[in-house]
């Protein structure tokens, strides 16, 4: 069942700007993951953050997790045109075995 809800649904920025996407979820999680999908392609795993972690970095990506608010954010710094894609958050519950994906944020980075 769907759990993550990304916000905004669509985001348009210029190269060099930062892009922030948010994700909210409803139930307890074991971990939360962010994925990227180029149009018509499979998903690429970006970063995983566990429920006992608050922040993680990977290159130009920064992910935060607030379990008290059941929310996460993905920050892409110094965006590039190649970052144009849809970004999904996905949650793994403590008892569940599956990833539950949100509806995604469509990011457009213009040169």
Partner 1 sequence: GAVVSQHPSWVICKSGTSVKIECRSLDFQATTMFWYRQFPKQSLMLMATSNEGSKATYEQGVEKDKFLINHASLTLSTLTVTSAHPEDSSFYICSATTSGNTGELFFGEGSRLTVL
Identify the residue among 14, 26, 41, 78 touching partner 1 (CB under 8 A). Answer: 41
Sheet holding 71-76: strands in order across? 5-7, 19-24, 71-76, 61-66, 55-58
Q: 29 or 109: whose CB is closer to partner 1?
A: 29
Identify the residue among 11, 19, 92, 107 touching partner 1 (CB under 8 A). Answer: 92
Identify the residue among 13, 20, 24, 43 touching partner 1 (CB under 8 A). Answer: 43
Q: How far apart are alpha carbons 107 and 76 in whole angstroms?
A: 11
Q: 14 or 94: whose CB is closer to partner 1?
A: 94
Burial (CB count <10 Å: 0-12, 13-18, 19+), residue 35: buried
Q: How far apart are alpha carbons 14 and 57 in whole angstroms?
A: 22
Name the site residues for partner 1 (rule: CB under 8 A).
Answer: 1-2, 30-31, 33, 35, 40-45, 48, 88, 92, 96-104, 106
């Amino acid at each position: 069942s769907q759990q993550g809800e990304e916000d905004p649904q669509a985001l348009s920025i210029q190269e060099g700007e930062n892009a922030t996407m948010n994700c909210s979820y409803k139930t307890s999680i074991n971990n939360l993951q962010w994925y990227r999908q180029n149009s018509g392609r499979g998903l690429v795993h970006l970063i995983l953050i566990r429920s006992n972690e608050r922040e993680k970095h990977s290159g130009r990506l920064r992910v935060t997790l607030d379990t008290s608010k059941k929310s996460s954010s993905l920050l892409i710094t110094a965006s590039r045109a190649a970052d144009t894609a849809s970004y999904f958050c996905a949650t793994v519950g403590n008892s569940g075995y599956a990833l539950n994906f949100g509806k995604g944020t469509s990011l457009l980075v213009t040169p």
